[in-house]
Every structure is written in C-alpha cells, then in structure tokens.
Amino acid sequence: MLEIREFFARLPEFVCPELFATEIEGFARIENIWDILKRIQAGFTTKYVKPQILGHVEEGAFLRGSDIYIGKGSVVEAGAMVCGPAIIGDNVEIRHGAFVRGHVIIGNGAVVGHSSEVVRSVFLPGAKAPHFNYVGDSILGSGVNLGAGTKLSNLKNDGSNVRTRIGEHVVDTGIRKFGAILGDNCLLGCNSVTNPGTIMEPNCMVYPCASVQGHFAAGSIIKLRQNIETAISQKI
C-alpha cells in the first residue's frame, strides 16, 4: 500500500497539515493510514481549531458552537448547518441543505453540497461531496468527486471493529467507525456505496450503483455487471 504522501499529494496546501504528521503530542503515532481517523475521533479538531469567521455565512445558515473556523472566500449558504468543532479552509462551498456534523476538517476549494452529511471526516483541497452524499469517518483526497447519492458507510451492522483486506491479509483496524479512505482523484459514480473499511489508492474509478469494499490499487476501475432485459407488454 502507498505511503500517506502518495495517497495525498497536496498535503502542504492543507488547512491543518499537522493532522498527517507521523507524531504529534497528545495523539497516537501514525502506523497505518487509518490512524488519521483515530486522531479525528480522539478530538484532534477540538484541539487545533482557532475559532474565526473570515468567510460569508448567509442569512438562514446555522452555526452551532463557538469552535468553528471558516476561511476567506468560503460561503455557508442559507439552509446549511455547521456544527463545531469544524475547520473549514478558504474558498469552500457549504451549499444549501448541507449538514456538517462536527469533527470535520475541510480543505481549500472543497464542496459539501445539497443534502450531503459529513461527520468526523477530512476533505483534502478540491474534494467534493456535491449532492445527496453521506461521508462518515472518512478521508477524501484532492480531486475526489462523489456522484449523486454516493454513500461512504462507516459502521458494521453488528457494531464490531472494522476489518479491511490489505493484499492477502485481513487486518483489524481497531476502530468501530471507519468509512473510506480515497486517494487523490478517485471518482465514484452515482448511487455507489463503499462499505466500512474501504481503501482506494489514487485515480480509482467506481461505476454507478456499485457496492465495494476492501483495498484497491491505484488506477483500479470497479464496475457492476448486470443483465438488463427488455420486453414489450402484451397490453399495448
């Protein structure tokens, strides 16, 4: 599996680069890429947020909590809700009907769109969850785009720790809530679903309506094959 800096090439531009440091005081050392999520779940955003509103919050938008940073040129549209702790970089769009539930760090130029919900997650610069998406306990690399209705499922039905396959090995990640880690420029088609613990290296493509899980090498194309039959009604 690739190193973190090969998953995410634009880390130097990220609004909070400390998150990806191998070692930082008060948080576990990063041994595996999902340890970044452990830091978010352990309160990283609470510790590093410096509350300030530099962007534009439209009338009718809702900010809950004082622990929210919104960068220059960013817009929170009417009807959106942002709950702290949250760190939102520059030129970000939080569109009408979006729900940022807290413990979220959103990089410059990213988009959280209409009816999209985000919690305990990280968006690298330019990542987009533009409409009808669920992003829970996940990391979206730069240039990632989620098609309409795409969901990053983060919890198993039985509530046990998420396990993921790396090569020939199945690994217990040690965390109950783990959605997906998507490397730079991954593209997920409309109504696709990533099951808990999905890891995609950069430049993967998922076709619409596919349900995926596990670890995918860089440049993988994941398709759902189906047989469609057409018949003419005798009543016509």
Active site residues per annotation: 131
Structure tokens at 32: 């595996």
- DSSP assigned state of 110: -
Number of other CB atoms surrounding residue 46 within 10 Å:
13
Residue 82, C-beta contacts closer than 8 angstroms, at least 6 positions apart: 61, 62, 63, 64, 68, 70, 76, 88, 94, 100
What is the largest distance, in Å, between two alpha-carbon atoms of the chain?
Answer: 72
3-state SS class at 134 = strand
- Cα distances (Å, whole numbers) of residue 127 to 30, 105, 158: 23, 12, 31
CA nearest neighbour of 112 among 77, 161, 69, 62: 77
